Amino acid sequence: MSTTTETEIPLRQRVAENPQPALIWAAVGAVLIGVELGAILQVVGAVAGVVVNLLPGDPGASAVQSLQAAFNAVPTLVSRDVIPNQGYWNGTGYENTFLGLSPAVAWFIRVAFVYAYAFAVLAWAWNGYTRFRRHYRRVDWTPRDDVVNRFRGHSWGKFGLVIVITFVVMAVFAPALGPTTMERNILQPYDYEVTYWSEDTQSTETVLVGEANLGSGSQGAGDENVAPLTYDDYGRFHPFGTATNGKDLFTQVVFGARISLTIAVVAMGIAGLIGLGLAMITAYYKGLADLATVLVSDSVQALPVIMVLILMLVIFQNTWVRELYDGAVLIILIFSVVYWPFIWRSIRGPALQVSEEDWIDAAKSFGQTPTQVMRKHMAPYVFSYMLIYASLSLGGIIISVAGLSYLGLGITAPTPEWGRLIANGQQYVASPSWHISLVPGLLITLVVTGLNAFGDGIRDAIDPQADTGDEAAATGGGA
């Protein structure tokens, strides 16, 4: 009569035998998700709108709009409505701001609240992992534990992780972080009004946001400059000052972060899938498949990346693809085509190595198909190497996107992008309006440094031999 060992007990049964740790964790998660349910539903509605817009004839557009309106009505805790900052001085105090505080203080409180919530979610996720290890995992130790412990002791990698988290939170919570909204200040400024206190009439007046922007541009010294952490003549607080057109620079920076992050992650994800798929095929079949991929890869890698990007953007300049989301879709496709050879090269060595292992032959002898062998027995081994290279390449894509926008070939206006901000403020670098170019330039440098540091930490955690200077290990087994 056979007995069931502890390692064979299903996870559901292990949780049922000791439900308290899982229930406490799930309850905390329900609270964290519940307070942001409105924002989550709004994201779902936005994705549905994107899908409908891509379909010919916009089928179901009215239904999606009704759904979006319903989702927008669901309250959310981390939002502009809970801690508003766009109020005005009425001569005796502030109106329409959080607790009657100044717009600057209200904005700082909201930013602190957003980041506190984000780090609470991360702490909850980490607590879930530790609870799983302590109460429900079948074994006391796995190789993943050593990877996690090595990363926790990697100071440079942890610095990069903090920078990456800060950048991701900035992109994800961009609507809540900005002192104003994208539509109000950037996309449709003439559809909204701003109320302010007039020193001349000693009363409150209203003006269109677009007209207020015209009088708040930063183009030099004196009255032609709105510096960081100051108010303009209409009582609006600007954490990073204003751009040359008077639009809030911080709002453009946070939404530019969202654009850069989306392009980098999606492009690298597509390139990674292509590179990983080809690595599996060439390592399994070898011969002609590997030779053909080598020739194609070498042909793509022989071309200067920036020249390929510029050439493709110029070729598709007046096509419908270039119009999709202000050029973001085309840029993603180009980066995917350009970057997959680099990823494939980096994981080709480990893929060829694992294809010669005994367990691969055993899987074949048990009748598993090539797809099953590649998916179950080869891809998990190679995936960690691909993750290393992908994390180290994200910074390069962000720099390239900024460079293209700086040249006027990237994301088209009015969608904000860091490279265009640098170009617009370049002539004012030596003036009191230095912030227009310097702030996004410093952020690009900081983000790329953080991504590289995070990638180094992942590499050293996954592959300890990288610390010894073993280049073959660092590049994926001599890829």
- Non-local CB neighbours of 195 within 8 Å, separated by 6+ positions: 88, 204, 205, 206
356 plus 433 within the same structural domain: yes
273, part of any domain: yes
CB burial readout 34-68, b (16+ within 10 A) else e: ebbebbebbeebeebbeebeeeeeeeeeeebeebb
Task: Check whether residue 230 and residue 269 sit in a common domain.
Answer: no
Same domain for 258 and 231?
no
pLDDT in tens, 165-180: 999 999 989 989 999 9
Say which residue, 217 or 471, is predicted with more confidence: 217
Per-residue confidence at 475, pLDDT binned at 50, 70, 90? very low
Domain-embedded: residue 440: yes
What Å distances lie between residue 445 and 98, 288, 300, 441, 449, CA to CA?
34, 43, 27, 6, 6
Extract the tokens encoding 454.
Answer: 């995070």
Quick check: helix, strand or coil at residue 85?
A: coil
| Per-residue confidence band for 1, with pLDDT thresholds at 50, 70 and 90 | very low
CA distance 424 to 427: 8
- Domain assignment of residue 91, yes or no: no
Contact (CB, 8 A) for 170 and 115: no
Q: Report the CATH number that the domain containing residue 393 is assigned in CATH.
A: 1.10.3720.10
User: For residue 391, what pLDDT is reported?
Assistant: 85
Residue 210 and residue 285 in one domain: no
Q: Residues 364, 299: one domain?
A: yes
* Burial class of residue 348 in the structure, from the number of CB atoms within 10 Å of its CB (0-12 exposed, 13-18 middle, 19+ buried): buried
pLDDT above 70 covers what percent of the chain? Answer: 92
Give the pLDDT score at 46.
72
Q: Residue 318 domain-assigned? A: yes
pLDDT digits (tens, 9 = 90+) for 261-301: 989 999 999 999 999 999 999 999 988 988 999 999 988 88
Distance from C-alpha of 34 to C-alpha of 41, rounded to nearest angstrom? 11
pLDDT, greater one: 8 or 303 = 303
Does residue 238 surpass a pLDDT of 60? Answer: yes
366 and 307 fall within a common domain: yes
Residue 436 lies in a domain: yes
Do 213 and 262 share a domain, yes or no? Answer: no
Whether 134 has a pLDDT exceeding 80, the answer reads yes
- Across 184-188, 254-258, 306-310, least confident range: 306-310
Owner of token pair 């409505």:
81
Among 28, 61, 76, residue at a domain's last position: 76
What is the structure's pLDDT at 319?
80
pLDDT at 377: 85
Give pLDDT tens digits for 434-457: 999 999 999 999 999 999 999 999
**pLDDT band of 8, cuts 50, 70, 90:** low
Residue 472 lies in a domain: no
pLDDT digits (tens, 9 = 90+) for 394-412: 988 999 999 888 888 888 8
The Cα 191–Cα 312 span in angstroms is 36
Is the confidence at residue 477, as pLDDT, over 60?
Answer: no
The answer to whether 391 touches 458, Cβ cutoff 8 Å, is yes
Please list the alpha-helical segments (H only) found in 231-304. Answer: 249-285, 287-301
65 or 257, which is more confident: 257
Q: What is the pLDDT of residue 106?
A: 95
Alpha helices in 366-434 (DSSP H): 370-373, 379-406, 418-424
**Last residue of some domain: 76, 95, 123?**
76
Number of DSSP helices (H) and strands (E) in the chain, helices first = 21, 6
- Could you tell me if 86 and 79 are in contact, meaning their C-beta atoms sit under 8 angstroms apart? no
Q: Is the model's pLDDT at 4 over the cut of 80?
A: no
> How far from chain centre, in Å, is Cα 377?
30
For the chain, give the number of residues. Answer: 479
244 in any annotated domain: no
| Domain final residue pick, 32, 58, 76 | 76
| Partners of 72 in beta bridges | none
* Residue-number span of the structural domain to which 185 is assigned: 180-236
CA 461/CA 154 separation, integer angstroms: 8
Burial of 17 (0-12, 13-18, 19+ CB in 10 A): exposed
469 or 139: which carries more pLDDT confidence? Answer: 139
Total count of domains within the chain: 3
Residues 308 and 405 in one domain: yes
CA distances from 331 to 201, 260, 286, 307 (A): 51, 11, 32, 13
The reply to whether 146 falls in a domain is no
On whether both 365 and 397 belong to a single domain, the answer is: yes
* Structure tokens belonging to residue 208: 């269109």
What's the pLDDT score for residue 128? 94
Confidence (pLDDT) at 473: 36
- Residue 287: count of CB within 10 angstroms of its CB: 8
**Judgement on whether residues 228 and 339 belong to the same structural domain of the protein:** no
Residues 260 and 366 in one domain: yes
For the stretch 346-376, pLDDT in tens is 899 889 998 888 888 888 888 888 888 888 8
Residue 379 has pLDDT above 80, yes or no: yes
Q: How far apart are CA 101 and CA 17, in angstroms?
A: 52
Do residue 273 and residue 367 come from a single domain?
yes
